[in-house]
């Protein structure tokens, strides 16, 4: 009996995801074949988001995007990516997630930050400022609870550890661990040519 209940619950989750994906896919700028978005995800201006093929966006993701004046997408998620639960992207200008990137749960990525130059005004009232593009290169892995800040590039097949706070570039095959993140070379990195 327990097996039957688990099977029914899994089928209900699949059906719910299929329905949700069907409802939201047309709102994106582009949405590739075989991609899914699990319910319920918050989508601010999904017309600014390009999703490649075979992308899996887990439940409760928040894609907080803002239209650019030149009409280009502010968030690009390329083929084969996995985006974990409670992912939060603030893409006001230029975030690109390349092919086969794996992002764990509760990851935060932003190309924008709050202004705080006037000490007499509240930070809330000073608005936002675009600080720099973010790139997650092909095959990298972003661990649970990590934060990637504006202007950062995470290199090909690099690893960002759980809860790392990344303010600097991570090289190809590198590792970023801690808060603030320390950048290291992976022991299994291929030799430089």
Rounded distance between C-alpha atoms, residue 61 and residue 98, angstroms: 18
Rounded distance between C-alpha atoms, residue 117 and residue 110, angstroms: 19
Catalytic residue among 45, 60, 114, 167: 114
Burial string for 146-180 (b: 16+ CB within 10 Å, else e) reads bbbbbbbbbbbbbbbbeebbbeeebbbbbbbbeee
Residues 47 and 26 sit within 8 Å (Cβ to Cβ): no
Q: Omega of the bond prior to 66 within 30 degrees of 0, cis?
A: no
pLDDT in single tens digits along all 193 residues of the chain: 778 889 888 888 889 889 889 989 999 999 999 999 999 888 999 999 999 999 999 999 999 999 999 999 999 999 999 999 999 999 999 999 999 999 999 999 999 999 999 999 999 999 888 999 999 999 999 999 999 999 999 999 999 999 999 999 999 999 999 999 999 887 777 777 6
Structural domains in the chain, CATH included, are 2-185 (2.160.10.10)
**56 catalytic, yes or no?**
no
Residues 34 and 52 sit within 8 Å (Cβ to Cβ): no
Residue whose structure tokens are 């800040």: 149
Rounded distance between C-alpha atoms, residue 183 and residue 22, angstroms: 41
């Amino acid at each position: 009996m327990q097996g039957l209940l688990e099977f029914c619950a899994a089928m209900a989750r699949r059906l719910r995801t299929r329905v949700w994906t069907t409802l939201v896919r047309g709102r994106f700028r582009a949405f590739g074949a075989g991609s899914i978005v699990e319910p319920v995800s918050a989508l601010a201006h999904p017309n600014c988001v390009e999703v490649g093929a075979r992308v899996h966006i887990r439940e409760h993701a928040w894609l907080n995007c803002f239209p650019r004046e030149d009409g280009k997408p502010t968030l690009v998620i390329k083929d084969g990516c996995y985006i974990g639960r409670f992912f939060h992207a603030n893409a006001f200008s230029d975030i690109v997630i390349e092919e086969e990137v794996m992002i764990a749960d509760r990851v935060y990525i932003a190309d924008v930050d709050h202004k705080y130059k006037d000490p007499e005004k509240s930070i809330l009232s000073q608005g936002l400022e675009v600080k720099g593009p973010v790139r997650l290169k092909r095959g990298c892995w972003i661990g649970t609870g990590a934060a990637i800040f504006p202007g950062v590039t995470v290199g090909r097949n690099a690893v960002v550890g759980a809860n790392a706070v990344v303010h600097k570039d991570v090289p190809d095959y590198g590792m970023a661990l801690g808060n603030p993140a320390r950048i290291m070379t992976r022991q299994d990195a291929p030799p430089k040519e």
